[in-house]
């Protein structure tokens, strides 16, 4: 019988911050998105004073004075490093592990010589907590969807103490399904949840009672697979070797609206440079680059425009000057004056490994441009050693409006020698 | 038609082979010695003089392993007053204390209700001797 565990870090970003700053313990803390836009992680205390997920930061500022809310900028260097630590601890517990997101991991427990999965899960929790400082919850089920559902309940229930094993008893599964609103089921989008609501389907249990034909007709094959998983038939297996990405994006909202071509030009140059670095890091080359910029959709009083342009890269390449060149060419061709741009970005399309580049008779041989050139290897080497952005293409002013706003970022405790925690002696 | 012959510029080694070739081993890596469990090991910087008796000076780099079970006599990093502190963990007659290793500094008895927790065990301390 298949048995899966979903291990999920509790309020992951906040927990990472607390691991190095005990003063944050017991206080309402949120971590904000890029550019300090909105709340993307909330401590239990922050949830308790009514901070909603995704709530804009400016609407929360009054809680700083009234409730002592602590608002931190996101520190992705820290979260990435802590995530790796948590995942590597989990990998010691089960040979089959699928890292599902920065703070979630599926474990395949099939055939594990464990009598009591609840006790085993408590040991997993305690170990991750002790070694990394990060609290986690564990949900266990006979399908990945049920494991996910178990995890959600494990987090909510005090009695569960962070662990819920639904694989042991069919009655528990039924009780769990009855407690879970349809919208909270993994893989059921908001749209389908609304559709279910209209049809009187409130809980996950109600959904499992619907005839297959109706589900397939209204929610498609994907929806049917979700329902099969809720009924205990495994459809999704562990994805331990994630396939190569096909696209990657680097974009940012501007702190202030931008009207000058030069400013968008600089932003696109930086995003293109970053995107090129990203794909090189994964050993990929790109066959096309897409540039976009658009105005603020939430300002109907302003003229709206969305700029979009795609340039082919032939042969596919990961070289920064080629990619910057193409991106700027795309920007120039699609640029229009007279608008207040709010966001811009660069998307790398058709990503492939250099050895998988499709050959055709008329394009130049891939050898010429596909492999990272010596220059690129040197640039990446220097930036790896001296820190991001030590060398780059083009000079960009420090006060550019699209540069990250992060007024409240904590130090890179685990990834920079200058930032390691100071311990009072 | 003119006959040409290629010129090889590569060096062809023709000397006696190095007798050391068969004995190549990895280089010594300090990280390997000091970081037994990478997932649980953190680096910290000591600030203050309360542990000079234990050879820890202000500015020293501390290697802290959170996976090590703390024992009586271990030098540990603990949470104290909302911050992190390095002290010697000692068993006393009525419990545990965090002891300074410098007579000018006090020791603290450990009361779990005060939010004092052992954060990790210090496994190595690294002093920079040439400050440049």
pLDDT by residue, tens only, chain A of 425 residues:
899 999 999 999 999 999 999 999 999 999 998 778 889 999 999 999 999 999 999 999 999 999 999 999 999 889 999 999 999 999 999 988 999 999 999 999 998 888 899 999 999 999 999 999 999 999 999 999 999 999 999 999 888 999 999 998 889 999 999 999 999 999 888 888 888 888 889 999 999 999 999 999 988 888 999 999 999 999 998 877 666 677 888 888 887 778 889 989 999 998 999 899 889 988 889 999 999 998 887 778 888 898 988 899 988 899 999 999 999 999 999 999 999 998 899 999 888 888 887 666 666 665 544 455 778 888 888 877 776 667 777 767 666 766 666 778 899 999 999 999 999 99
Q: What dotted CATH number matches A248-386?
A: 3.30.1490.100
Determine which helix (DSSP H) or strand (DSSP E) holds A227, and give its type and residue range.
helix A212-230
- The pLDDT tens digits for B60-105 are 999 999 999 999 999 999 999 899 999 999 999 888 999 999 999 9
Q: Which residues of B touch A413 (CB under 8 A)?
A: 42
User: What are the two backbone dihedrals, phi and then psi, of residue B66, each rounded to the nearest 5 degrees?
Assistant: -80, -10
Place of tokens 């603020």: A296
- As a whole number of angstroms, the distance between CA A31 and CA A55 comes to 11
> Structure tokens of B7?
């010129």
* Structural contact between residues A139 and A20, judged by C-beta atoms closer than 8 angstroms: no
Give the pLDDT band of residue B5 (cuts 50, 70, 90). Answer: low
Report chain A's terminal Cα–Cα distance, integer Å: 54
Instruction: Count other Cβ atoms within 10 Å, centred on residue B124.
Output: 16
* Residue B66: burial class (beta carbons within 10 Å; 0-12, 13-18, 19+): buried
- As a whole number of angstroms, the distance between CA A249 and CA A348 comes to 6
- As a whole number of angstroms, the distance between CA A163 and CA B78 comes to 28
pLDDT value at B3 more than 60: no
Q: Work out the minimum CA distance from B56 to partner chain A, whole angstroms.
A: 8
* Structural contact between residues B77 and B119, judged by C-beta atoms closer than 8 angstroms: yes
- As a whole number of angstroms, the distance between CA A280 and CA A297 comes to 33
Q: Cα dist. A80→A75, A192, A304, A415 in Å?
A: 9, 32, 36, 10
* Structural contact between residues A176 and A151, judged by C-beta atoms closer than 8 angstroms: no
ipTM (interface pTM): 0.83
Candidates B9, B27, B36, B50; catalytic one: B50
A12-75 and A248-386: identical CATH topology: no
* Structural contact between residues A285 and A354, judged by C-beta atoms closer than 8 angstroms: yes
CATH 3.65.10.10 applies to domain A12-75: no
Residue A80: per-residue pLDDT: 93
Find the closest chain B residue to A416 by CA distance.
Answer: B43
* Residue A67: burial class (beta carbons within 10 Å; 0-12, 13-18, 19+): middle
Q: Cα dist. A387→A74, A208, A382 in Å?
A: 18, 52, 8
> Structure tokens of B46?
């000591």
Q: Which residues of B touch A421 (CB under 8 A)?
A: 42, 44-45, 84
Q: Cα dist. A2→A97, A110, A242, A382, A385 in Å?
A: 14, 5, 20, 47, 45
pLDDT value at B1 more than 50: no
Mean pLDDT over each residue of chain A, to the nearest integer: 89
Q: Which residues of A touch B114 (CB under 8 A)?
A: none
> Structure tokens of A410?
């904590």
Residue A17, CB-side half-sphere exposure with 13 Å CA sphere: 26
Mean pLDDT over each residue of chain B, to the nearest integer: 88
Give the pairing type, strands A39-42 and A29-32.
antiparallel
Q: Do A85 and B40 touch (CB under 8 A)?
A: yes
Q: Work out the minimum CA distance from A108 to partner chain B, whole angstroms.
A: 21
Residues from B contacting A (CB-CB < 8 Å) are: 37-40, 42-51, 56, 58, 61-62, 66-67, 77, 79-80, 82-86, 115, 117, 119
User: What residue segments make up the domains of chain A, in order of their start?
Assistant: 4-9+78-230, 12-75, 248-386
Class of domain A4-9+78-230: alpha beta
- DSSP codes of every residue in B42-86: EEEEEESSTTGGGT--TT-EEEEETTSPP-TT-EEEEEETTEEEE
Place of tokens 């802590």: A82
Three-state DSSP state, A9: strand
Q: To the nearest 10°, the Cα dihedral for B78, B81, B82, B84?
A: -30
- As a whole number of angstroms, the distance between CA A39 and CA A21 comes to 19
């Amino acid at each position: 019988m298949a048995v899966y565990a979903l291990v999920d870090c509790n309020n992951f970003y906040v927990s990472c911050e607390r691991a190095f700053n005990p003063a944050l313990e017991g206080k309402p803390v949120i971590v904000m998105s890029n550019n300090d836009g909105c709340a993307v992680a909330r401590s239990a205390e922050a949830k308790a004073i009514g901070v909603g997920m995704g709530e804009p930061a400016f609407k929360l500022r009054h809680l700083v004075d009234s409730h002592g809310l602590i608002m931190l900028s996101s520190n992705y260097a820290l979260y990435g490093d802590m995530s790796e630590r948590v995942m590597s601890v989990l990998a010691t517990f089960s040979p089959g592990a699928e890292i599902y997101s920065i703070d979630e991991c599926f474990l395949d427990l099939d055939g594990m010589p464990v009598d009591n999965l609840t006790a085993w899960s408590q040991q997993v929790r305690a170990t991750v907590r002790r070694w990394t400082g990060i609290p986690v919850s564990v949900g266990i089920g006979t399908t990945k969807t049920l494991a996910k559902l178990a995890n959600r309940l494990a987090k909510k229930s005090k009695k569960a103490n962070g662990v819920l094993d639904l694989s042991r008893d069919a009655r528990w599964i039924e009780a769990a399904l009855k407690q879970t609103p349809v919208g909270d089921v993994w893989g059921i989008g908001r749209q389908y949840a609304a559709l279910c609501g209209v049809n009187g389907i409130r809980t996950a249990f109600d959904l499992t009672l619907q005839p297959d034909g109706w589900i397939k007709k209204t929610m498609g094959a994907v929806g049917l697979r979700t329902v099969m998983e809720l009924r205990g038939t495994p459809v999704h297996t562990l994805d331990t070797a994630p396939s190569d990405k096909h696209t990657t994006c680097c974009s940012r909202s501007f702190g202030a609206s931008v009207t000058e071509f030069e400013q968008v030009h600089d932003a696109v140059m930086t995003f293109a440079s970053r995107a090129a670095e990203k794909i090189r890091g994964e050993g990929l080359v790109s066959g096309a680059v897409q540039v976009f910029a658009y105005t603020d959709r939430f300002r109907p009083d302003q003229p709206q425009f969305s700029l979009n342009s795609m340039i082919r890269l032939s042969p596919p390449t990961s070289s920064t000057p080629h990619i910057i060149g193409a991106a700027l060419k795309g920007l120039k061709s699609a640029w229009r004056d007279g608008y207040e741009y709010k966001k811009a970005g660069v998307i790398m399309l058709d990503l492939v490994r250099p050895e998988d580049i499709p050959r055709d008779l008329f394009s130049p041989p891939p050898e010429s441009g596909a492999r990272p050139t010596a220059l690129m290897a040197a640039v990446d080497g220097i930036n790896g050693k001296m820190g991001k952005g030590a060398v780059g293409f083009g000079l960009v002013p420090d006060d550019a409006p699209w540069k990250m706003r992060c007024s409240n970022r904590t130090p890179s405790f685990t990834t920079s020698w200058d930032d390691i925690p100071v311990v009072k002696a | 038609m003119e006959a040409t012959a290629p010129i090889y510029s590569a060096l062809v080694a023709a000397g006696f082979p190095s007798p050391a070739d068969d004995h190549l081993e990895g280089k010594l890596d300090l990280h390997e010695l000091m970081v037994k469990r990478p997932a649980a090991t953190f680096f910290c910087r000591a600030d203050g003089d309360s542990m000079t008796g234990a050879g820890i000076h202000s500015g020293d780099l501390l290697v802290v392993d959170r996976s090590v079970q703390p024992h009586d006599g271990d030098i540990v990093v603990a949470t104290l007053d909302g911050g992190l502190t390095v002290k010697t963990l000692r068993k006393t007659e009525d419990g545990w204390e965090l002891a300074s290793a410098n007579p000018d500094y006090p020791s603290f008895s450990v009361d779990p209700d005060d939010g004092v927790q052992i954060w990790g065990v210090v496994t190595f301390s690294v002093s920079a001797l040439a400050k440049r």
